[in-house]
C-alpha cells in the first residue's frame, strides 16, 4: 500500500480500535429499524401479490424480488429530505416476445386499476415508482428472460425508455456480493473499546449478526457520499457516484485484500486498504470506462462516464474522483482530530455522516462509559490515553493488549 492514509495508518492500535467502534455505533443508528423493515416488507408483499393477480397472460407467473441496497444489506436511513429507495425486479417469464411498450402498458394499467395504487404510480425510465409519500417508495423494474440463461444469477432484459431493453443481472451481482461478504479478514486482536464495555447494566445494541465487514464498509462510503453531495458549495451534486459503482469497486477491493492473506490488528486498516484499492478496479479501454457487473460484463455500471454530449461523462468521472478524495481526506481528518479528544472526533464524524446518528452514538457511548465508571470498570490505557473498560483487579488482562491500565476513579458529580 502507498502512504495515501499516512496519518490514519500512524495511529496506535487503541486509537484505531476506538475510531472503528465509534463508526460502528454511528451506523447502528443508520440501520433500518424493525418497524421500518416490517412496513417495507408489508408493502413489498402487497404489491407483489397484487401484480400476480392480473388476468393478462403477460403477467402470468410473475415473480418479484429485491435488488440494490435492500438485497445487499447496505441500506442507510436517508437524509432528512429523502426517502428509502426500495428497488424491485418484476420478472415476467411469459414475456419473451413482448415489446417494452407492451410490458409497460400492461403493468401500468393493472396498477391504475387498483384503488390502492392508482394515486401512487409514477413513471420511471425503467419502470414505475409506488410513492407512498412517506419515508420510502418502491421502484419496480419489469423484466423478461435474457437470451443466455447459462450466466450465473438471473440474467434479464429490463425495460428501458431509451433503448427498449437493457441487459442486467442484479441477482448475479448480489450473489457475487454475498460470496465476497462471506470472506472474513483475519483480525489478530479483539476490540478494546466499546466491545469491552459490555455488561448486564448496559442496554444491548440491535443485533447486527447479519452485517459483515463489507456490508458496513459500503454503508460508511455511501453515507459519506450522501452527506458530501449535499454540501452547499459542492459543484458535483448532480453527478455524484451511484451506489452500485461504490459497491462494486469496494467489493472488488475487499476481495483483493482478503485474497492477499494480509492479517490485521484492527478493522480501521482494513477499511483504509479497501478505500485505497477502489480506483485500481476501474477498467478503461477503446470503449471507454468500464465498471462491469461481475456476472455480466455487458452491464456497465459506469456507462454514464462515457457520455460525450455536454461533457457529461467527464462530469461523472470528475465527481467520482472528487468524492473519493473527500473520503480519503475525511479519514485523515479523523486521525488528526483523534489526538485532540473524543469530542473532536464526534464533531468530525458529524460533518462526515450527519449530526443525528452521531449524536445518538455519542449518547450511547457516554452512557456506557458512565455506567462502567460507576462500577469501577473503566480505565485509561497508559501510553495511549484511550478510555477502556476493565475490571480493576484484572488491569493487566488480555483485553488491554500490551498496555497497563490505571482505574479511573468514580465521579459522584457532587462535593470535593
- On the CB side of 385, CA atoms within 13 Å amount to 7
SS3 assignment, position 319: helix
pLDDT at position 147: 84
Quickly state the pLDDT bin for 214 (edges 50, 70, 90). Answer: very high
Question: What is the mean pLDDT of the segment spanning 81-101?
Answer: 91
The three-point CA angle 340-346-350 to 5° equals: 135
- Distance in Å from the first CA to the final CA of the chain: 52
pLDDT digits (tens, 9 = 90+) for 157-184: 999 999 999 999 999 999 999 999 999 9
Question: What is the mean pLDDT of the segment spanning 99-114?
Answer: 96
Taking the C-alpha atoms of residue 378 and residue 388, their distance in angstroms, rounded to an integer, is 6
pLDDT digits (tens, 9 = 90+) for 11-68: 998 889 888 888 988 998 888 888 888 888 899 999 999 999 888 999 999 999 999 9
Domain boundaries, the chain: 6-31+178-191+200-368, 36-168
Percent of the chain predicted with pLDDT > 70 = 83
- Assign domain 36-168 to its CATH architecture: 2-Layer Sandwich (3.30)
Lowest mean pLDDT among 176-185, 220-229, 345-354, 392-401: 392-401
pLDDT at position 189: 59
pLDDT digits (tens, 9 = 90+) for 240-255: 999 999 999 999 999 9
Q: What is the dihedral of CA 6, 9, 12, 17, to 10 degrees?
A: 140
pLDDT at position 287: 87
Lowest mean pLDDT among 218-232, 331-345, 386-400: 386-400
Contact 300, 290 (CB under 8 A): yes
Does position 416 have pLDDT exceeding 60, yes or no? no
DSSP state of 222: H
pLDDT digits (tens, 9 = 90+) for 34-45: 888 888 889 999
Q: Which residues contact 2 (CB under 8 A, 6 or more apart)?
A: 276
pLDDT digits (tens, 9 = 90+) for 350-371: 999 999 999 988 888 888 777 7
Q: Which grid coordinates are listed for 25?
A: 455505533
Quickly state the pLDDT bin for 344 (edges 50, 70, 90). Answer: confident
Does position 234 have pLDDT exceeding 70, yes or no? yes
* pTM metric for this prediction: 0.84
DSSP 251-265: HHHHHHHHHTT-EES
Amino acid at each position: 500500500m502507498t502512504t495515501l492514509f499516512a496519518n490514519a495508518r500512524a495511529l496506535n492500535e487503541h486509537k484505531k480500535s476506538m475510531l472503528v467502534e465509534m463508526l460502528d455505533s454511528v451506523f447502528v443508528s443508520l440501520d433500518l429499524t424493525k418497524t421500518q423493515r416490517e412496513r417495507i416488507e408489508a408493502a413489498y408483499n402487497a404489491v407483489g401479490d397484487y401484480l400476480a393477480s392480473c388476468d393478462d397472460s403477460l403477467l402470468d407467473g410473475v415473480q418479484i424480488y429485491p435488488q440494490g441496497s435492500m438485497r445487499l444489506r447496505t441500506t442507510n436511513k436517508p437524509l432528512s429530505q429523502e426517502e428509502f429507495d426500495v428497488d424491485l425486479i418484476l420478472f415476467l417469464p411469459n414475456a419473451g416476445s413482448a415489446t417494452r411498450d407492451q410490458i409497460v402498458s400492461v403493468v401500468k394499467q393493472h396498477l391504475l386499476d387498483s384503488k390502492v395504487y392508482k394515486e401512487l404510480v409514477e413513471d420511471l425510465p425503467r419502470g414505475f415508482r409506488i410513492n407512498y409519500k412517506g419515508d420510502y417508495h418502491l421502484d419496480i423494474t419489469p423484466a423478461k428472460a435474457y437470451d443466455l440463461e447459462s450466466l450465473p444469477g438471473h440474467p434479464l432484459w429490463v425495460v428501458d425508455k431509451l433503448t427498449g431493453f437493457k441487459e442486467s443481472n442484479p441477482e448475479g451481482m448480489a450473489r457475487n456480493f454475498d460470496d465476497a461478504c462471506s470472506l472474513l479478514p483475519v483480525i489478530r486482536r479483539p476490540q478494546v473499546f466499546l466491545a469491552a464495555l459490555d455488561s448486564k447494566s448496559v442496554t444491548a445494541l440491535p443485533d447486527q449478526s447479519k452485517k459483515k465487514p463489507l456490508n458496513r464498509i459500503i454503508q460508511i462510503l455511501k453515507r459519506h457520499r450522501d452527506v458530501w453531495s449535499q454540501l452547499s458549495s459542492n459543484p458535483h451534486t448532480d453527478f455524484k457516484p451511484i451506489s452500485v459503482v461504490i459497491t462494486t469497486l469496494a467489493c472488488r477491493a475487499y476481495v483483493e485484500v482478503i485474497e492477499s492473506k494480509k492479517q490485521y490488528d484492527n478493522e480501521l486498516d482494513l477499511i483504509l486498504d479497501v478505500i485505497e484499492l477502489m480506483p485500481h478496479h476501474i477498467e478503461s479501454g477503446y470503449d471507454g470506462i468500464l465498471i462491469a457487473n461481475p456476472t455480466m460484463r455487458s452491464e456497465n455500471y459506469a456507462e454514464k462516464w462515457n457520455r460525450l454530449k455536454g461533457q457529461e461523462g467527464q462530469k461523472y468521472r470528475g465527481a467520482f474522483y472528487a468524492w473519493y478524495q473527500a473520503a480519503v481526506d475525511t479519514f485523515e481528518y479523523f486521525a488528526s482530530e483523534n489526538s485532540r479528544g473524543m469530542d473532536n472526533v464526534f464533531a468530525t464524524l458529524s460533518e462526515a455522516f450527519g449530526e443525528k446518528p452521531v449524536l445518538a452514538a455519542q449518547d450511547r457511548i457516554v452512557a456506557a462509559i458512565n455506567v462502567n465508571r460507576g462500577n469501577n470498570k473503566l480505565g485509561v490505557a497508559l501510553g495511549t490515553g484511550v478510555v477502556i473498560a476493565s475490571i480493576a483487579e484484572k488491569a493487566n488482562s488480555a483485553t488491554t493488549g500490551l498496555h497497563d491500565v490505571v482505574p479511573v476513579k468514580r465521579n459522584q458529580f457532587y462535593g470535593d
